[in-house]
Amino acid sequence: MLVKEVLLGLLTGAVFFTIGILLGHFAIDKGSSVPEWVQDASRDVDESIIEKFLAELDTNEIKENLRELTKVPHMATTPGDEATVEFMLKRWKDPKTGLDNAWREDYKVYLSFPDKTNPNKVSVVDPENRVLFTAREREKAYQPEQDDPEVVQPFAAYSPAGNVKGKLVYANQGKISDFELLNRTLDLRGTIAITRYGGEGRSKKAINAAKFGIVGVLVYTEPYDINDGLVSESETYPNSWYLPPSGVERGSYNTDFGDLLTPYLAAKDDTYRRPKEDITGIPPIPAQPIGFEDAERLICELDGDDAPIEWQGSLKCTYKLGGPGFKPTSLLNNSNVHMDIYNTERLEYSANVMGIIRGSVEPDRYVIYGNHRDSWVHGAIDPSSGTAVMLEITRVLGKMVKEGRWRPRRSIIFGSWGAEEFGLIGSAEYTEEYFSKLSERTVAYINVDISVFANATLRASASPAAQSVLFTASKQVNAPGTTTSVYENWIKYFNRTSPNYGVIPNVGFLTGAGSDYAAFMHYLGITSMDISYYYDRSKTRARIYPAYHTAYDTFDYASKFIDPGFTSHQAVARTAGNVLVRLADSLLLPFNCSDYAESLERYLSQAVTAFEEKLAAKEISMESLKKAVQLFRETATKLDRLIMDSDLAKETPLKARRINDQLMLLDRAFLDPLAFPEQYGFRHVIWASRSSSVPTFPGLADAVEKAESTDLKEDWDQAHKHLSIVTQAIAGAAHTLDDVI
């Protein structure tokens, strides 16, 4: 009994002693006597630091970065790419403006290349084997850059080698519906199809074609889609920003991201590699891109019925479907198109260049800023405009760190991804190698791939949680050449009406795998954003800047037609850099879960309108989904109130850490590794890729539309399953925002 009393007394004393220390700690005036770590732990972002950072971002430095980065072609794994790796490392190791550390990480990846000694050929050959027409093997040179021997011949990466011939048909964008229309009146077996870019992924054009017995696919850039209908040399580069007639868009013809032989594994030397015969998502038949001047010669000679009005374009003729083949009055009559493709695949080493500024308070929390480094040719806009901006951001931040003027609260990792043009390989390999570390510790990923498409307005896509920090940053930066903020200018070009805020800039959603954010957002569930400067869509139909992936994407093109003066590059650097500093240095992460609730409510409204009645007819109720979205709204509001009522600088640092973890892990709560077994790398049930045109929950939308088309019980069961998946994901995410149990 005595022992128990003694132990109880000791325990009681210890409790009061601990309480006394805590009371004393938080009651004292936080002056010079307070330990430095306490002051650091309660420190918030310093607005004066942000102002100095923004002021030091220099247009001329960005310009010279771009000039250096585009001196030579730097396709992945080529000597030009290796020179760029060394340039990045040199800059990030600079003793005056470099980062705390920089290094390279090499991966052994499966890539596809044309044969330098045996170029791919597209020709028209008559029955006597006479060549009547041959497409260009290289684009026309207007500047010395196009004559560089390292300019790679236009090719479709991952297209198989092969020699095929057949009568030609025109198949619009190569969608399944396009081939179905052709197949109603034509026997497509053994034919070759010519398609235009857009409407369907590069690889899918060939995958779709093969299902109808087509043996080869040509792809061209339609001037109606990219040039606002202009086709003559006098109206195109080097006289304007439009694509010249011989310009050819190169590209990776695969549907999955990451190394194709090592799915879900980092492609290191000793990694298991599956047989290449097991690769899916690449063309099963030869494919080859050509310029629109060659496409015009082929399309305008076709026989057959007129193509539908929506299939027509700006070439100087009425587009026909093909007989199959050419019209009787054509010099090409009764001739076949021949495709001689000599692409080869091989394993090559590709490097990511990594750098870090270590955090002073939470070094185990990372904000990652990335941009891919490799290009198809010189790549001034894609991707070097983004690399030039990233290098200027690291120069200024590195200088501030080296001079002792600043160090972020959290660590900042910079990534220069390799082999991205071949299918987002560098970022995917990085996320696969460091899966657990990144999943647990990464606050956000900022992607600035193509920093400047044109010089009209900011454009951003992001997780809804990041909308608020994008708005805060864009309000502090002036649009180029104006006293108007980037935010106000943004509203003029891209806006929507929010039930909570009124008219605001429209921040797009990160659906699909359009850029380097894919592995971070869809695979890891890391809150991500993609930032760029864009063109005025009211003044052009161009689906992207016209020199995209061609030999004309050069420093000359960028400095004359995209951003003379490099002020839009600077605006992107200031906006993205501002976001970066706030994410790295704010005491409380500048994320807003109520904005996420609004996005879920928008998706719910679309789903109810499009699907509720159809599901109800199959006795499937959407009530649980409605309740889950409502629960998310309630818990988001509750967390917002807790944040507003807290003075975190004066409370225990553990409270800020706890709330930050809730905000940081929000997107992770929407991951379901079993939701999309047929889609590689997609685990985020809200933002995964979808084929449905209804802008709502992707798994549900695609499943309902498939069930509608088949009316099979098993397909309606899948629709019910996807309804349950998204419902439980949203409810689970809501619980992560709630109080600790």
Active site residues: 420
Most distant CA pair in the chain, distance: 115
Number of Cβ within a 10 Å radius of residue 421: 25
Helix H or strand E segment including 334: none
Report d(CA 307, CA 522) in Å as an integer.
38
Q: Which residues on neighbouring strands pair with residue 112, listed in sequence order? A: 345
Q: Which of 593, 649, 607 is nearest to 466 (CA)?
A: 593
Q: What are the start-end ranges of the H helices in 28-147?
A: 36-42, 47-56, 59-69, 79-92
Q: 């809501």: which residue's tokens?
A: 734
**Which two tokens mark 434?**
């460091």
Question: 3-state DSSP helix/strand/coil percent for the chain, to nearest 5?
Answer: 40, 15, 40
What letter would DSSP give residue 110?
E
Please give the sequence-ordered ranges of beta strands (E in DSSP) within 150-270, or none if there are none: 156-157, 162-166, 168-170, 192-196, 216-220, 251-252
Long-range residue pairs from 304-312, CB within 8 A, at least 24 positions apart, any chain: 304/169, 304/186, 305/185, 307/170, 307/172, 308/172, 308/181, 310/172, 311/170, 311/172, 311/178, 312/224
Q: Which residues on neighbouring strands pair with residue 103, listed in sequence order? A: 354
Helix H or strand E segment including 593: helix 593-616
What letter represents residue 559's amino acid? Answer: S
The interaxial angle of helices 593-616 and 623-645, nearest 10 deg, is: 170
Residues 6+ apart with CB under 8 A from 526: 368, 438, 439, 442, 444, 445, 520, 667, 668
Please spell the DSSP secondary structure of 419-488, one letter per residue: SGGGTSHHHHHHHHHTHHHHHHHEEEEEE-SS-BS-SSEEEEEE-GGGHHHHHHHHHTSBPTTSSSBHHH
**Which two tokens mark 120?**
């791919």
- Buried b vs exposed e over 277-314: b needs ≥16 C-beta within 10 Å? eebebbbebbbbbbbbbbbbebbbbbbbeebeeebebb
Number of Cβ within a 10 Å radius of residue 69: 25
**Which two tokens mark 539?**
């003044």
The phi, psi pair for 362, rounded to 5°, reads: -125, 70
The phi, psi pair for 163, rounded to 5°, reads: -120, 105
Report d(CA 52, CA 49) in Å as an integer.
5
Please give the sequence-ordered ranges of beta strands (E in DSSP) within 200-292, or none if there are none: 216-220, 251-252, 287-290
